[in-house]
Structure 1
């Protein structure tokens, strides 16, 4: 019974820490490109990828959900100091929903993919952290910005190189943390 409680407490602490990490990554100033007004280049998706790779699907999704709840309550934790309910109706709303679903896909997929762990982690981060996030983010942006989907998709292509770098960094960091864990 005591081990179950400790594991539960450990999971809660890790969930809270990753929610805080994602929030802290929002302090890095965003970069806005004139090509896609309203969508910043930020590093918060790196935190989402790390949460999925390190915590797994369920706990990663809980960390992102906690982060989004704190943002909804008004904490200015999104890139550029944004927060409050209004962000869920702005141009990045679909990406925020994509964070929640993408982190789960990353955490579920990473241990199931074949190949070396770092390659599997990278592939999971690309599929969940880019593919799933864009699957919700790009149509959401198109809808809110009143753009044709093709234009929103074309504008989002500028984010791909940076997102691929973030996926690689997340995979390498997850591998390093897994190696550093006691008992391995």
Structure 2
């Protein structure tokens, strides 16, 4: 139990630290950050349930006003900004990433984690992020989807890095990942 709480808190802190990496804000109000990689890592390392909880903890800390988002943002206002769909997607992206890593028995581990990161850490975030942009900007879903596609190359790189990092961790310390290494 204590180990689970510590890991959940650690990954909430990790995503906060990834927000400290300088952001690049695009013209439509959504920044390019490293925090989406934190979502991928949380799901892949902790598994579906604990990954979800770590992202939920992170969002709670943001909601109470801690400046943990890229650019030092925090507070309830972050949940009504153009980025709100992406933020709300964090727990669900981590959950789906973790679920796929836990259930999919694909070898090598880097490929399994990379694919899970694409589906959960990119697919879920893009879907919910696009819906949030549609509501915030008053544009069509298709228009906002085209805006979001600018993130795809960087996010694919993050998914590959996540696969490689988690595979190395699983090899070095198999007990530290939330899935069975076979």
Gaps of 5+ in 1: 1-7
- Provide the residue aligned with 1:60 in structure 2: 51
Give 3-state SS (helix, strand or coil) of 2:134's partner.
helix
CA distance in 1, matches of 2:117, 2:8: 18
Distance 1:182 1:167, change over 3 A: closer
CA distance in 1, matches of 2:149, 2:81: 20
Q: Report deviation, 1:142.
A: 1.2
- Provide the residue aligned with 2:22 in structure 1: 29
- Provide the residue aligned with 2:178 in structure 1: none
Pick the aligned partner of 1:161 from 148, 153, 157.
153
Gaps of 5+ in 2: 176-180
- Provide the residue aligned with 1:80 in structure 2: 71
Which stretches of structure 1, 4 residues or more, deviate above 2 A after TM superposition?
none
Q: Report deviation, 1:182.
A: 6.5
Number of residue pairs the alignment of both structures matches: 175
Under a length normalisation based on structure 2, what TM-score does the superposition of the two structures give? 0.93
- Provide the residue aligned with 2:168 in structure 1: 176
- Provide the residue aligned with 2:124 in structure 1: 132
Give 3-state SS (helix, strand or coil) of 2:72's partner.
coil
| Larger Rg over CA atoms | 1
Q: Aligned-residue CA RMSD in angstroms?
A: 1.3
CA distance in 2, matches of 1:81, 1:160: 24
CA distance in 1, matches of 2:73, 2:140: 26
Tell me, yes or no, if structure 1 residue 141 matches structure 2 residue 139. Answer: no
